[in-house]
């Protein structure tokens, strides 16, 4: 892993330092060492302005550019072979005021806020990596891999008593993750059958793209590694927590 800091430049005025991180073992050309890396000025400027950016080189290597506070998040994501949730990162950067010159990160209250936020992001990355490994990094609902799979909570992370355990997680592609989050898909806890919201099935009759999405979805969740499959009670808790949103679903057979 190669880490550098951009804090001065002969041409550009650097308003705040940016950390750049590259990992050689993720290159597509088989090389396992790296002594230097070419950084994109546009990505550096984007990270300076927003706190986070990434760039994929011609050799398939991902280079991340970030506010120094976010370095533990980037390292954890790299170690767990996951893609950080950029929406959460941008929200955290804004909440912490990392781009506000008036924010004093040497003050104890600010240090504690940063510590809690970064710890939460690191925990999310570890959870996602463990869930992806349990499902061989393929979507539990369609089998897609290609590095396009995310670790999703069954019982939401923000809900009371939620735990970052693989039994409370599913590996899902972006489409199935969003459909799951929007209550278009539900899971029968006793059989692990995947059921669609009737509105989706109705639309599938006239929309070929939706029909293909439904057809490519498995009847029953793909099996995870032994001992790491989803806990049926996690689905029970989810359905109870979102009771109104799942009013359409017949989740428990007589």
The residues spanned by each domain of the chain are 2-132, 138-241
What's the confidence (pLDDT) of residue 215?
Answer: 92
What's the confidence (pLDDT) of residue 185?
Answer: 94
Task: Give me the DSSP letters along the chain.
Answer: -EEEEE---SSS--SS-EEEEE-GGG-TT-----S--PPPHHHHHHHHHHSEEEEE-TTS-EEEEE-GGGHHHHHHHHHTT----HHHHHHHHHHHTTT-TT--TTSHHHHHHHHHHHHHHHHHHHHHHHHHHHTTTS-TTT---TT-EEEEESS-TTSTT----GGGEEEEEHHHHHHHHTTSEEE-TTT-BEEE-HHHHHHHTT-HHHHHHHHTS-SBPPP-STT-SPPHHHHHHHHHHTTTTTTT---S--
What's the confidence (pLDDT) of residue 182?
Answer: 93
What's the confidence (pLDDT) of residue 93?
Answer: 86
What's the confidence (pLDDT) of residue 32?
Answer: 57
What's the confidence (pLDDT) of residue 37?
Answer: 75
Residues with pLDDT less than 70, the chain: 24-35, 104, 108-109, 226-227, 252-254
Q: What is the pLDDT of residues 28-78, one digit of tens each?
A: 555 555 567 788 888 898 898 998 998 887 777 788 898 988 888 888 888
């Amino acid at each position: 892993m190669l880490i550098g800091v951009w804090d001065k430049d002969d041409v550009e005025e650097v308003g705040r330092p940016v950390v750049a991180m590259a990992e050689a073992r993720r290159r597509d050309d088989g090389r396992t060492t790296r002594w230097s890396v070419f950084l994109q000025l546009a990505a550096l400027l984007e990270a300076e302005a927003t706190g986070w950016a990434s760039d994929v080189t011609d050799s398939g290597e991902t280079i991340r550019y970030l506010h120094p506070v976010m370095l533990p998040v980037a390292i954890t994501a790299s170690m767990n072979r996951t893609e950080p949730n950029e929406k959460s990162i941008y929200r955290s950067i804004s909440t912490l005021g990392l781009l506000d010159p008036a924010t004093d990160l040497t003050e104890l209250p600010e240090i504690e806020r940063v510590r809690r936020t970064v710890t939460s992001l690191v925990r999310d990355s570890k959870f996602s990596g463990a869930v992806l490994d349990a499902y061989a990094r393929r979507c539990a609902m369609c089998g897609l891999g290609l590095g396009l799979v995310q670790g999703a909570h069954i019982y939401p992370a923000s809900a009371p008593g939620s735990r970052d355990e693989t039994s409370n997680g599913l590996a899902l592609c972006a489409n199935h993750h969003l459909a799951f989050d929007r209550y278009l898909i539900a899971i029968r806890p006793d059989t692990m059958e995947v059921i669609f919201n009737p509105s989706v099935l109705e639309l599938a009759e006239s929309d070929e793209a939706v029909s293909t999405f439904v057809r490519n979805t498995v009847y029953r969740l793909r099996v995870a590694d032994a001992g790491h499959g989803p806990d049926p009670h996690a689905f029970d808790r989810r359905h109870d927590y979102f009771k109104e949103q799942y009013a359409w679903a017949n989740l428990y057979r007589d």
